[in-house]
């Protein structure tokens, strides 16, 4: 993304209030907390809805909603109180703190693992003469725990923590859900909700926040059946990887993934397919996606295999989620911590289920990269136009009704058309009504927020009961009869027809 495009994108985000800092009218507000304005919140909710319908419900996953605050023993058992930390260093001049792995990565233009020892970080700083942004020495290197605690109730010492990731309640609830749903392995649980991390240096807007949302999916399975998954219907589907052996992005078909043993089993391959398909369908360009293979020294100690799904952006490659084969670590840890048996019995044998972390998508990151990936600056004559090429199911408004003028009964016809569409679409998509300003400026405003189609009511409408439909992406216009309008819009929304075929 060139500088002009970046500047116009950031200006659009601000002027349209897609998102903005929390408590911004106060000078002492906290970094890393954001609000979504009306347009941004519509898109945010539609992303969640798309994830629930097209990923969770379509694949028959079970969905729960867990507590944000959990007791201290939960995080002692999970290892969060010991290991949920980041390397930190302090500037000797200003006292400013730095997330050390990210800061060194930027300075050295290298991928620096966050799991290095204090001595290894110190050696990198010394060998490369790295200073802080203000020219000070980087001192007091240590590991900083990101968990945010809270005292629950009146009595002191009743310590709880705001969850730092949304998966723990899935692990805690697994045994109950397994029994009550009368399912057999494999069983997949999903949830979405807020998580909190006391980040060292939140920055880059929505990319690194202290409060954010996750779209979580964890799959529980019998490790002896890791290859009991039929991939015959998706053999030719291409998944984009950055493998350690390749060093560059490369597409592999599902068949090639199996033949080359890129994943540790058919079950993992199937879920890699599901995740990339979800992102393809929501509107992230295939070339801007990659599953990056994580080397041994940067994987969590319990992970048998990890791929980070990354999206290319103006800020570089951004991690959207990790795809982790977590083995039996989580249920074993909580079984020991709670003194409860979390194993299951199937086919006459006791199974300690393994867990595949299918994804813990950062919703706010997905929101950002989706908007940036969809943004275009288009030249029309001497004028530059901002356009958001959002999919129909993600756009804040699928279509808009635009009476050309307010007189001669045109406004009233527009209101009738609006009512007819709303009555017939059963709340499937949202419709915007705008009668203010020139038609050209209205088109531009709606293009900028991602509205897919504009329906113009003009004097010809009075004569022959037709309206103009304008396509956001091509600027093309076609006239259709009002009596057919609702069905046409419905078919366009579900992508049963193309605009060019009208």
Q: What is the 3-state secondary structure (H, E, C) of 138-151?
A: EEEEEEEECCEEEE
| CATH architecture under which domain 397-501 falls | 3-Layer(aba) Sandwich (3.40)
Q: CB atoms < 10 A from the CB of 265, how many?
A: 19
Higher pLDDT pick, 183 / 483: 483
Q: Tens of pLDDT along 294-315?
A: 998 888 888 999 999 999 999 9
Q: Are strands 354-362 and 316-327 parallel, antiparallel or unpaired?
A: antiparallel
Instruction: Tell me the DSSP string of 209-231.
Output: -SEEEEEEEEEEE-GGGTT----
pLDDT at 1 exceeding the cut of 80: no
What pLDDT is recorded for position 300?
84
Q: What residue segments make up the domains of the chain, in order of their start? A: 3-84+146-371, 85-145, 397-501
Question: What mean pLDDT is predicted for residues 222-229?
Answer: 96
What pLDDT is recorded for position 483?
96
pLDDT at 75 exceeding the cut of 90: yes
Q: Tens of pLDDT along 313-356?
A: 999 999 999 999 999 999 999 999 999 999 999 999 999 999 99
- Exposed, middle or buried: residue 179 (CB in 10 Å: 0-12, 13-18, 19+)? exposed
What pLDDT is recorded for position 299?
87
What pLDDT is recorded for position 431?
98
What spatial distance separates the first Cα and last Cα of the chain, rounded to whole Å?
34
What pLDDT is recorded for position 457?
98
What pLDDT is recorded for position 111?
83
CATH fold match for the domains 3-84+146-371 and 397-501: no
What pLDDT is recorded for position 150?
94
Q: Grade residue 250 by pLDDT with cuts at 50, 70 and 90.
A: very high
CB of 401 within 8 A of CB of 431? Answer: yes
Q: Average model confidence (pLDDT) for the chain? A: 95
What pLDDT is recorded for position 201?
86
Question: What mean pLDDT is predicted for residues 49-66?
Answer: 97
pLDDT at 114 exceeding the cut of 90: no
CB of 159 within 8 A of CB of 167? Answer: no
What pLDDT is recorded for position 381?
82
Please state which CATH number belongs to domain 3-84+146-371: 3.30.930.10
What pLDDT is recorded for position 382?
85
Instruction: Tell me the DSSP string of 354-420.
Output: EEEEEEEEEHHHHHHHHHHHHEEEEEETTEEEEEE---TTTSS-SEEEEES-SSTTHHHHHHHHHHH
Q: Tens of pLDDT along 135-150?
A: 999 999 999 999 999 9
Q: Tens of pLDDT along 164-196?
A: 999 999 999 999 999 999 889 999 999 999 999
Q: Tens of pLDDT along 362-386?
A: 999 999 999 999 999 998 888 999 9
CB of 244 within 8 A of CB of 352? Answer: no
What pLDDT is recorded for position 191?
98
What pLDDT is recorded for position 296?
86
pLDDT at 163 exceeding the cut of 90: yes
């Amino acid at each position: 993304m060139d500088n002009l495009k970046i500047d116009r994108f950031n200006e659009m985000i601000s002027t349209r209030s897609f998102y903005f800092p929390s408590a911004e009218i106060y000078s002492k507000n906290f970094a890393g907390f954001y609000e979504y304005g009306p347009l941004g919140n519509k898109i945010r909710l539609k992303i969640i809805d798309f994830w629930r319908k097209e990923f969770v419900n379509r694949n028959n996953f079970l969905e729960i909603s867990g507590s944000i605050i959990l007791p201290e023993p939960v995080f002692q058992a999970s290892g969060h109180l010991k290991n949920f930390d980041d390397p930190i260093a302090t500037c000797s001049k200003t006292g400013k703190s730095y997330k050390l792995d990210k800061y060194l990565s930027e300075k050295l233009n290298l991928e620096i693992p966050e799991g290095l020892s204090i001595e290894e970080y110190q050696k990198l700083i010394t060998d490369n003469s790295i200073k802080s942004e203000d020219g000070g020495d980087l001192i007091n290197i240590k590991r900083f725990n990101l968990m945010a605690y809270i005292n629950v109730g009146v009595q002191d010492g009743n310590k709880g923590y705001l969850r730092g990731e949304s998966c723990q309640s899935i692990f805690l609830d697994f045994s109950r859900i397994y029994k009550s749903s009368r399912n057999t392995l494999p069983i997949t649980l999903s949830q979405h909700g807020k998580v909190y991390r006391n980040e060292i240096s939140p920055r880059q807007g929505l990319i690194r926040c202290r409060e954010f949302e996750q779209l979580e999916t964890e799959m529980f399975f019998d490790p002896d059946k890791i290859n009991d998954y039929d991939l015959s219907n998706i053999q030719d589907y291409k998944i984009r990887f950055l493998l350690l052996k390749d060093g560059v992005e490369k597409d592999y078909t599902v068949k090639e993934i199996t033949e080359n043993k890129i994943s540790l089993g058919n079950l993992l391959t199937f879920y890699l397919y599901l995740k990339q398909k979800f992102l393809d369908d929501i509107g992230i360009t295939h070339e801007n996606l990659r599953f990056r293979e994580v080397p041994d020294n940067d994987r969590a100690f319990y992970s048998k295999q990890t791929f980070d799904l990354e999206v290319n952006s103006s800020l570089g490659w951004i991690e959207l989620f990790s795809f982790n084969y977590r083995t039996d670590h989580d249920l074993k840890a909580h079984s020991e911590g709670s003194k409860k048996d979390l194993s299951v019995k199937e086919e006459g044998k006791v199974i300690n289920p393994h867990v595949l972390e299918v994804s813990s998508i950062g919703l706010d990151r997905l929101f950002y990269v989706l908007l940036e990936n969809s943004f275009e600056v288009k030249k029309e004559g001497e004028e530059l136009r901002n356009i958001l090429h959002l999919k129909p199911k993600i756009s804040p408004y699928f279509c808009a009704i635009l009476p050309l003028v307010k007189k001669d009964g045109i406004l009233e016809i527009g209101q009738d058309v609006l009512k007819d569409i709303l009555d017939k679409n059963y709340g499937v998509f949202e419709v915007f009504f705008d009668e203010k300003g020139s038609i050209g400026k209205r088109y531009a405003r709606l293009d900028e927020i991602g509205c897919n189609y504009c329906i113009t009511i003009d004097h010809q409408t009075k004569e022959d009961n037709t309206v103009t439909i304008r396509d956001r992406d091509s600027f093309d216009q076609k006239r259709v009869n009002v009596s057919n309008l609702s069905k046409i819009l419905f078919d366009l929304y579900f992508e049963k027809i193309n605009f060019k075929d009208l």
